[in-house]
């Protein structure tokens, strides 16, 4: 199969372009991008693609970069193509953002390419990465400790933004094949002197490591591309399974993802890792590669049998909170109400709002109900010392619990009732004027002011429903 047929088949197999589409071709002026442009122009005679040439001068290499920009502009004119040439002050952008050179250049370049695509109504941006680039990418990610997703290499097609996708029609072709194509068609191109420098890891791999590896396996590039293709297919399947599993397992509550620990734990470790990654990608849209060690710490925190409660903060805004069998991940705030206090004077009726909950206090002159749910409490009004205080929990709080001898720490009571740590500060404490705790609201009442047959007036407190502190 010749070069043109290989590229046509790649485009068709991966559904990169349809008849009559507009495509922006990123042309640096180097041999790879010139070959890509020529190939697409050749094929477009039958597919009627509209081709727009896009070039970015990153302003790193002075006169050399200026000559490349002029070369690309004249090449587009000679071939009857529309071109968009941009000069972007990437060094200034690096100074402003403090990002590394390659990351900053990539961000500026992609932004310009997308803007160009939108301007011309293009559906795709074509990049000239080839099989040798793919081999270098896989090796580079392996050296950096990437997982299987990284080892799958660069995808043939990837959705980007604003309904524009990135396509790589040359990934099935070697550098040697492209150079032969340029020679056969007597096509001129530019040589980027920075490619000879081993300052960057990719150049080191290309100029130093690959030649060494090829002494062990002359088909090293082919081998690495085969690995990337196999891993990409496996990874695609596993991610689909992880998405399907997550759909049935998790729920989204505002900006927090919630799921049951036991449900997560029941799945294979391979799915667990991918579900963690999917959750992080859902919550964090920065496109930053998530650190494997951090993700593994989160996974271990979920699946390990102890402790019952734990918090892991993986970014400034996001936390993983494990509370018994409940797992929450996202922008989680504790119900911090430390210092909140309400004073309750003796009156017929009062209603207090506490953490989105109304607590009603009513004085009654008759009461014949024997048992009460946890959401309600009844006291002998005349045995209480007013004013009553409704406050947040304090360190060292203890209460004389109804039905048992001695006192018990409020903290221990909350633990016994499996109230999550992040919700414990939301539990209101009712005391009398001396500070004696009467009721840990919704949890336990004290043995003080118990209603008897001699009680004349009753203080009835109602939270409206059984309280679920989560």
Same domain, 173 and 255: no
Q: Is residue 244 part of a domain?
A: no
Residues 76 and 199 in one domain: yes
Q: How many CB atoms lie within 10 A of CB 338?
A: 11
Average pLDDT over residues 343-363: 78
- Are 65 and 198 members of one domain? yes
Mean pLDDT value across residues 384-402: 90
What average pLDDT score do residues 380-405 get? Answer: 89
Tell me the pLDDT band of 334, cut-offs 50, 70 and 90: low
Residue 374, classified by CB atoms within 10 Å of its CB into exposed (0-12), middle (13-18) or buried (19+), is middle
Residue 389 belongs to what H/E stretch? strand 388-391
What does the pLDDT read at residue 406? Answer: 85
Which residue's entry shows tokens 């002011």? Answer: 449
Least confident of 106-110, 132-136, 157-161, 277-281: 157-161
Q: What is the CA radius of gyration of the chain?
A: 33
Q: Report the chain's mean pLDDT, rounded to a whole number.
A: 88
Range with top average pLDDT, 143-152, 331-340, 452-461 = 452-461
Residue 437 is predicted with a pLDDT of 96
| Closest by Cα among 298, 295, 292 to 144 | 292
CA atoms within 13 A on the CB side of 149: 13
Residue 35 exposed, middle or buried by CB count within 10 Å (0-12, 13-18, 19+): buried
Residue 241 maps to a domain = no
Q: How many helices (H) and strands (E) does the chain have?
A: 15, 22
Domain boundary among 159, 193, 228: 228
Write down the pLDDT at residue 172: 95
Query: Is 60 within the bounds of a domain?
Result: yes
Task: Choose between 391 and 171: higher pLDDT.
Answer: 171
Query: What is the average pLDDT across 432-456?
Result: 92
Task: Specify the number of domains making up the chain.
Answer: 3
Whether pLDDT at 35 is above 90: yes
Give the model's confidence band at 393: pLDDT under 50 very low, under 70 low, under 90 confident, else very high.
confident
**Claim to verify: residue 325 and residue 417 sit in the same structural domain:** no
Spatial separation of the C-alpha atoms in residues 202 and 194, rounded to whole Å? 12
Q: For residue 234, what pLDDT is reported?
A: 94
Q: CATH number for the domain including 272?
A: 3.30.465.60
Residues 186, 143, single domain; the answer is: yes
| Predicted pLDDT of residue 265 | 95
How does residue 467 score in pLDDT terms, banded at 50, 70 and 90?
Answer: low
* Claim to verify: residue 359 and residue 213 sit in the same structural domain: no
Q: What is the pLDDT of residue 145?
A: 83
pLDDT > 70 fraction of the chain, expressed in percent and rounded: 94
63-74 confidence digits (pLDDT tens): 898 999 999 999
Residue 390 domain-assigned (yes or no): yes
Task: Name the residue range of residue 312's domain.
Answer: 250-330
Same domain, 383 and 422: yes
Does residue 195 share a domain with residue 83? yes
72: number of Cβ within 10 Å: 25
Answer with the one of 330, 359, 381 that is the final residue of a domain.
Answer: 330
The per-residue pLDDT for 355 is 64
Nearest one of 12, 17, 110 to 58, comparing CA atoms: 110
Q: Is 245 part of a structural domain of the chain?
A: no
- Domain assignment present for 237: no
Alpha-helical regions (H) of 56-174: 62-78, 90-97, 101-120, 131-143, 148-151
Answer yes or no: is pLDDT of 198 > 80.
no
Give residue-wise pLDDT tens across range 287-325.
Answer: 556 778 888 888 998 998 876 777 777 777 788 888 888
Higher pLDDT, 149 or 370: 149
Residue 123 maps to a domain: yes
Which has the minimum average pLDDT: 3-17, 50-64, 421-435? Answer: 421-435
pLDDT at position 336:
44
Clarify whether residues 77 and 157 are in a common domain: yes
324 and 346 belong to one structural domain: no
DSSP-based three-state secondary structure for 467:
coil
Q: CATH number of the domain at 430, please.
A: 3.50.40.10
Spatial separation of the C-alpha atoms in residues 456 and 129, rounded to whole Å: 87
Query: Is 61 within the bounds of a domain?
Result: yes
Tell me the CATH number at 120: 3.40.50.620
Same domain membership, residue 257 and residue 221: no
Single residue among 295, 330, 365 that ends a domain in this structure: 330
Q: Which of 183, 182, 169, 156 is nearest to 128 (CA)?
A: 169
The pair phi, psi for residue 179, each rounded to 5°, is: -65, -40
Helix (H/G/I), strand (E/B), else coil: 340? coil
pLDDT at 5: 96
Indicate if 70 and 120 belong to the same structural domain. Answer: yes
């Amino acid at each position: 199969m010749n070069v043109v047929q290989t590229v046509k088949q790649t485009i068709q197999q991966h559904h990169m372009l349809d008849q009559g589409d507009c495509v922006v071709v990123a042309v640096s002026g180097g041999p790879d991008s010139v070959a890509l442009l020529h190939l697409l122009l050749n094929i477009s005679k039958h597919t009627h693609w509209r081709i727009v040439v896009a070039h970015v001068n990153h302003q790193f290499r002075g006169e050399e970069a200026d000559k490349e920009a002029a070369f690309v502009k004249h090449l587009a004119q000679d071939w009857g193509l529309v071109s968009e040439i941009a000069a972007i002050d990437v060094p200034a952008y690096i100074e402003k953002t403090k990002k590394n050179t390659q990351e900053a250049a990539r961000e500026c370049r992609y932004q310009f390419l997308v803007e160009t695509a939108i301007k011309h109504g293009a559906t795709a941006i074509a990049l000239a990465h080839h099989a040798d680039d793919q081999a270098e990418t896989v090796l580079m990610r392996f050296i950096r400790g990437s997982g299987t997703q990284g080892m799958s290499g660069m995808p043939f097609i990837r959705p980007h933004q604003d309904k524009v996708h990135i396509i790589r029609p040359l990934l099935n072709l070697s550098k040697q094949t492209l150079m032969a194509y340029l020679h056969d068609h007597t096509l001129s191109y530019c040589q980027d002197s920075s490619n000879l420098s081993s300052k960057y890891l990719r150049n080191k791999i290309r100029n130093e490591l690959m030649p060494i590896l090829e002494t062990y396996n002359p088909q090293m590039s082919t081998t690495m591309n085969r690995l990337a293709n196999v891993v990409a297919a496996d990874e695609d399947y596993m991610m689909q399974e992880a998405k399907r599993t997550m759909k049935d397992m998790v729920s989204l509550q505002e900006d927090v993802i919630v799921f049951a620990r036991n449900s997560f734990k029941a799945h294979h470790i391979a799915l667990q890792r991918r579900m963690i990654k999917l959750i992080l990608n859902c919550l964090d849209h920065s496109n930053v590669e998530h650190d494997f060690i951090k993700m593994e710490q989160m996974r271990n925190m979920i699946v390990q049998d102890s402790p019952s409660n734990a918090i892991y903060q993986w970014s400034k805004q996001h936390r993983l909170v494990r509370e018994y069998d409940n797992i929450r991940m996202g922008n989680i705030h504790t119900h911090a109400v430390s210092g909140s206090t309400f004073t309750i004077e003796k009156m017929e009726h009062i209603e207090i709002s506490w953490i989105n909950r109304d607590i009603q206090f009513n004085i009654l002159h008759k009461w014949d109900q024997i048992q009460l749910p946890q959401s309600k409490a009844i006291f002998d009004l005349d045995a209480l010392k007013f004013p009553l205080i409704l406050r947040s929990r304090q360190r060292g709080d203890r209460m004389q619990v109804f039905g048992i001898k001695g006192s018990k720490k409020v903290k221990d009571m909350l633990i016994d009732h499996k109230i999550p740590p992040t919700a414990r500060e939301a539990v209101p404490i009712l005391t009398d004027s001396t500070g004696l705790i009467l009721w840990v609201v919704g949890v336990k009442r004290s043995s003080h002011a118990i209603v008897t047959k001699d009680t004349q007036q009753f203080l009835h407190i109602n939270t409206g429903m059984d309280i679920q502190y989560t």
